[in-house]
Chains A and B, each alone.
Chain A
């Protein structure tokens, strides 16, 4: 018996999918901004002259990069309440994404910082700039420029990874898809459409990051 496709069966649930897209977008936005911010801080701390600070960051990075995202999420959502830290599904999902992206982007940004020629730093030192000024005015912008494509990819990976957050009932897109599929049993149609929606979101996110990168690194004067 051939399967009869019925994409129309999803239509009554469009609001659920839309809500899912909105929540996924919110998670991705919070995750990207705070995660990359944490990554920049982490990369800065990683190069600290105080060994303890650098080592703490190294442990954080290795801990996150060598454990599954799902376990990190479960730990935050189910584990932390034991310490009295109770988070909503959204809060736990967002926090997990920030912590996860923070670790990966620490390493990516660090690579960019290490690619800055030592002569740049020495020139800035010889101009009497302190460490914070050197990082802010000399190092960070060229460093981010070098690793922007890699960082953008990582942000997209984390956005897609938010689908895992359906496991703690954060009502993002995958959660919505599972829910609808549970009601109409139209798995093919639901996940087909959901796949398409993730694809579109990825493409849009990549474009946004590209445009933002161009804005960030463009030359403001032209000769």
Chain B
């Protein structure tokens, strides 16, 4: 059984149908990139996986459990599914260390010492051992995003969702964040990312999912997808990137 199984996911915002029947299985250790044009539904799809978007129809299974829309189900789900956002979303009134410690303490009821040890470990892992007592507004965008990754990892999720994690960064700060994501992929973390960094997706992911008009249009290994697009839409998308 796959770690995440999406079946026939439908979602509309008002009259606009954003997801028109998505089937997707994500195995443990798999690294998937969702690619496609703006408005193709890739971010919405990502957000359904941890219940930030409700779905109109279909089923979501995570770690063998069906996700309902009861609060307790969602909390269970989110223990398994971490998320990193485009805008970092660090809590401004807490230091980097406190941002990472908070949820292990209040959600998992870990002792302060335990939470602190994990937080220090995770911040060291993302290269921010020397920034633990800094507040978010004292950090660069790249550093903030790495704190956000550490914060998600401290909950020990089984899958990490990355929603355009470098899109809000200045170009010179993109690589430090991608390096951390790459490291996670190499360590075997299950990753689902929405990204516009095609070169990175190609190098790091084992599966590319091309979304178009709310459907999975094509899916496959990065080399195949880029070298031999089977549909004109993907050829067009890939060609547009090269040009």
Give A contacts to B, CB under 8 Å: 117, 119-120, 122-131, 133, 137-138, 141-142, 145, 217, 219, 221-223
Report B84-113 CB contacts with A as 1/0, cut-off 8 Å: 010101111101000000110011000000
Which of B132-140, B180-188, B200-208, B235-243 binds A? B132-140
B89 touches A120 (CB 8 A): yes
B135 touches A127 (CB 8 A): no
A117 to chain B, nearest CB (A): 8
Point out which of A126, A138, A217, A222 has the most chain B C-beta atoms below 10 A from its C-beta: A126
Chain A residue nearest in CB terms to B108 = A128
The docked-state distance in angstroms from the alpha carbon of A119 to that of B85 is 8
Which of B13-21, B28-36, B71-79, B223-231 binds A? B71-79
The docked-state distance in angstroms from the alpha carbon of A122 to that of B47 is 10
B126 to chain A, nearest CB (A): 16
Q: A119-B89, A137-B106 are in contact. Are A130 and B75 (CB under 8 A)?
A: yes
B151 touches A127 (CB 8 A): yes
B52 close to chain A: CB less than 8 A = yes
Return 7 A-B CB contacts under 8 Å, by A number: A125-B50, A128-B103, A131-B71, A138-B91, A142-B92, A142-B93, A223-B131
Residues of A within 8 A of B131 (CB): 223
B89 touches A133 (CB 8 A): no
Known pairs A133-B106, A223-B133 / 6 extra A-B pairs, C-beta < 8 Å: A122-B85, A123-B89, A125-B74, A126-B52, A126-B82, A222-B133
Q: A120-B89, A142-B92 are in contact. Are A126 and B135 (CB under 8 A)?
A: no
The docked-state distance in angstroms from the alpha carbon of A220 to that of B87 is 25
B83 close to chain A: CB less than 8 A = yes
The docked-state distance in angstroms from the alpha carbon of A145 to that of B82 is 29
A223 touches B135 (CB 8 A): yes
B152 close to chain A: CB less than 8 A = yes
The docked-state distance in angstroms from the alpha carbon of A137 to that of B78 is 18
The docked-state distance in angstroms from the alpha carbon of A131 to that of B85 is 20
B155 touches A128 (CB 8 A): yes
A128 touches B52 (CB 8 A): no
Q: A219-B135, A221-B133, A223-B133 are in contact. Are A127 and B155 (CB under 8 A)?
A: yes
Residues of B within 8 A of A124 (CB): 91, 103
B78 touches A127 (CB 8 A): yes
Residues of B within 8 A of A219 (CB): 135
Residues of B within 8 A of A127 (CB): 78, 82, 102-103, 107, 151-152, 155
A129 touches B134 (CB 8 A): no
A30 to chain B, nearest CB (A): 29
B135 to chain A, nearest CB (A): 6
The docked-state distance in angstroms from the alpha carbon of A128 to that of B152 is 10
A141 touches B93 (CB 8 A): yes
> Which among B102, B138, B155 is the interface contact of A223 at CB below 8 angstroms?
B138
